[in-house]
Amino acid sequence: MGAWGTGLFDNDDAVDWAYELEEATELTPVRQALSATLDTDGYLELPEGACAAAAAGVVAASFDGTLTGLPEEVADWVRDHPDAATRADARLALDALERVTGQDSELRDSWAVAPDGPDWARRLEALRNRLVRAIGD
């Protein structure tokens, strides 16, 4: 895994995916990244998991305006597209995070053996809580 930290965009796959988002005029890349986790049975590969986690971060930021940890270009995209995400997107993001942090996830398995694994797990739990609040708003 090409990762340099526990943040949602601290890995090669999420950074590459962010380029797709930068070019988008709507939330389509986010929805595609989230749906990719649910469109596959069995083991969820690391790239799909990393992109889905990053996409879930975009959905949460769209609701609560928290841009901390987002690359500048992604934060700009969120600012330029206020109210892009719907409650349905937040639900989709929660379902995707369930897959990313579940037993059949290469990303979870990779972090489970990493020294910073507990920090990664806390970050994803905090993201999950942000999405739950978004649905409740």
pLDDT at 2: 82
The SS3 call for residue 11 is strand
- Evaluated on CA atoms 74, 29, 129, 122, the torsion sign reads negative
**What is the rounded distance in angstroms from the CA atom of residue 70 to the CA atom of residue 79?**
12
pLDDT at 1: 54
Give the domain ranges of the chain: 12-136
Greater confidence (113 vs 41) lies with: 113
What's the mean per-residue pLDDT of the chain?
95
Q: What values do phi and psi take at 121, rounded to 5?
A: -60, -40
The SS3 call for residue 70 is coil
pLDDT at 69: 93
Q: How far is CA 6 from CA 42, 56, 105, 109, 120, in A?
A: 25, 15, 16, 14, 5
pTM of the model: 0.95
Closest CA to 5 of 60, 66, 54: 54
Span 42-72, pLDDT tens digits: 999 999 999 999 999 999 999 999 999 999 9
Task: Answer whether 46's CB lies under 8 Å from 1's CB.
Answer: yes
